[in-house]
Structure 1
């Protein structure tokens, strides 16, 4: 790449030895750029910083001879600002297309394309034969971009939404200007879910009305709402030739969800949206969109207005490089064990508290009924420095995702990727203290 001439500064034998060490220490950059896949083993932080520095030095604001006369030239008041974006002051994308190379940002453009290549290899290592791109926005706005792509490609004008009480996708639908048709949930034992026949009826009704519907289904959610049957929905969408977007916010951390996606992709799934922070342990602000159709991903990119901050994409790349595939698979296994431990401990707890663990099919979260105000209980847990549990009253139609009165008050506890055994043990102990103290 460049010749480091140290001849005459040290003896020849030491020069050869030093250059050999330097070459070996820099070989990881050559390996990453040639393979463009998530590494098997994670990289140390000093090497990741070096790679980011290598890319950022390619951008024009780092040119020591540049004459900057534009209105957008990567000027920063403080060095802290430059550090916060890892040196990529020009951001990513162009006004017309997020994934297009930016002339002022050769390094950021290369970094973004490398990230997308690594994301694709990561997804394929999980068993999903798809292409992936990182987006500089979180789940709700990522869904908006996907829905806008659906409008551009298929002239869709109404979203059929199997009801899930999550504000982000609902706002995402309205932001794009679609009309929403809700399909109500039903109660099956403890579980709240949407009947696939009702979804098909909604599709037929909208088509008969002269509309072009699309489906926004939900794969990952809190109990008692169970996953939509995305495989059967995919079959229906294929039969009626209508687009299907899946909200899989935290789908990549568990084999149960991945297997559902793998099967659904055999039928009709135009794209899935997952969160970078929920799956790849990044700060909040990044989305992952994946599809079998590269043209659809390009339409998603074309839907983004303007350039974007590079930081969410850098965070995705850092996670992929830091974890490596081996460590990620280990974290998935650890998540599964923690979920099993949580179920065991909650079953022990309900024997003491005259409550029950709700019978909900969910590989991440569990819900336990309570005999007093669940919101108050969740507040006490928060004051005990426990973050994450949700307290839901039976009358809260939004939170239960059920438009009638749900049979129970309950607390939801998660065992998501990154959680540890000691966290699970501690939260159940604190929940027991709160419940028995009453």
Structure 2
């Protein structure tokens, strides 16, 4: 365009003037380096996907600063007389945010460009495109809709349910195959909806989806059923939902289907299940965390869809229901991380986790067997692993003591679960043995995860410490 040609001419003239102060050979070399970085940005804007090779930090900083300079609060001699002009009083805060102070979206749509914030709006649009590419490379090739939200996963699910409720205002029940994680229930109740829990079925050590019970409940609720909220990533011994079977039920009953894919992006099994359910039946949307899947600070989630029939309508409703403007901080974190990794780095991160899983499981099994325990067999969960926790006859040491013992040994992330006949109220519902994903829990166990970012050092330290704690 004429504007781009003018900018290039201006940049060229600046370099030409600089040769009057510094030898031309040095300036030409610097100009070439600058041109290489500008070409990387140009490629990003044209291709709208992750670069094959990750960007270096200098390029990342340059691009973010350049985009931030497109927001009105950074304009030279800008006269701001509105009530919100992107003013930041603390220099440290301004530096932390690269001067990006206007946020994203407008009161009518979180994805709508802001007149005062061209740079922030561009970062958001690019981040949605990069996230779509990352999800495709993780195993769900059909992803077509993607919205990154500055909300953690639970609130992301709540907003998704509110959008569904807007599309079907008379429906109020959410059929929910049980997953003992409080945020799921809270997401439902925060949307003003009623959860209908479905107990899981035990298949060997695993807990699997009770498909016949879901079918019966959908038949019973009829048009009052808003959706089924299924789960992919979860704590062992619960397994990945029988997603395709659930999706077929939803399609047959004309009921929406949302999957809680909290940390499932890192798992090929979860992503392929999502792709299959979306392609062959009905899966309106799947929701995932940015921190667990992309190693950024807590605060963001991604609502995506690979369902060509239902995804677009839900995405539009979701974007339109967000009230007011939104923070760009979690979006900027993901934007920088995906460019830092590049496609090659992202795929390698996924590969490393996948390669460590069987090694971790084998070594953990060897350690616990020395103490009379066993690794639970959960072939349909390729992130979390469960280990039996036998209580010694007449012993006074409760199962939870293992978790405390490991915590003081600087081991985090271990979940200890024990059978209980005392009901626990969560989200207005009573559950037995809460944490076990079933009322019929007969033995104590603990679970650990082979999650994205784990390395051999983590595994070595944990195995040494759990060996001592069990002893």
TM exceeding 0.5: yes
Q: Which residue of 1 aligns with 2:234?
A: 221
Report the Cα offset of residue 13 of structure 1. 4.6
Q: 1:398 aligns with which of 425, 434, 454?
A: 434
**Partner Cα separation in structure 1 for residue 71 and residue 312 of structure 2:** 27
1:26-425 paired onto structure 2 within 5 Å:
26-128=38-140, 129-130=142-143, 131-155=145-169, 156-207=171-222, 210-266=223-279, 267-292=281-306, 293-360=311-378, 361-372=380-391, 373-395=398-420, 397-404=433-440, 406-425=441-460
**Partner Cα separation in structure 2 for residue 277 and residue 233 of structure 1:** 27
Q: Deviations over 1:7-62 (max 9, x none)?
A: 33344454444322321233212121221111111111121111111111111111
Figure out how many residues of one structure are paired with residues of the other and give that number. 433
Q: For residue 44 of structure 2, give the secondary structure of its aligned residue in structure 1.
A: helix
**Partner Cα separation in structure 2 for residue 175 and residue 227 of structure 1:** 25
**Partner Cα separation in structure 2 for residue 425 and residue 16 of structure 1:** 51
Gaps of 5+ in 1: none
State whether residues 215 and 244 of structure 1, in contact with CA within 8 Å, keep that contact through their aligned partners in structure 2: yes
State whether residues 138 and 266 of structure 2, in contact with CA within 8 Å, keep that contact through their aligned partners in structure 1: no
Q: Deviations over 1:161-219 (max 9, x none)?
A: 11111111211111111112111223332222331010011100000xx5243111111
**Partner Cα separation in structure 1 for residue 387 and residue 30 of structure 2:** 62
**Partner Cα separation in structure 2 for residue 222 and residue 275 of structure 1:** 16
Report the Cα offset of residue 279 of structure 1. 0.6
TM-score by length of 1: 0.95
| RMSD between aligned residues | 1.6
Q: For residue 147 of structure 2, give the secondary structure of its aligned residue in structure 1.
A: strand
Range with greater deviation from structure 2 (44-53 or 279-288)? 44-53
State whether residues 123 and 132 of structure 1, in contact with CA within 8 Å, keep that contact through their aligned partners in structure 2: no
Q: Deviations over 1:375-397 (max 9, x none)?
A: 11111111111111111112261
State whether residues 75 and 89 of structure 1, in contact with CA within 8 Å, keep that contact through their aligned partners in structure 2: yes
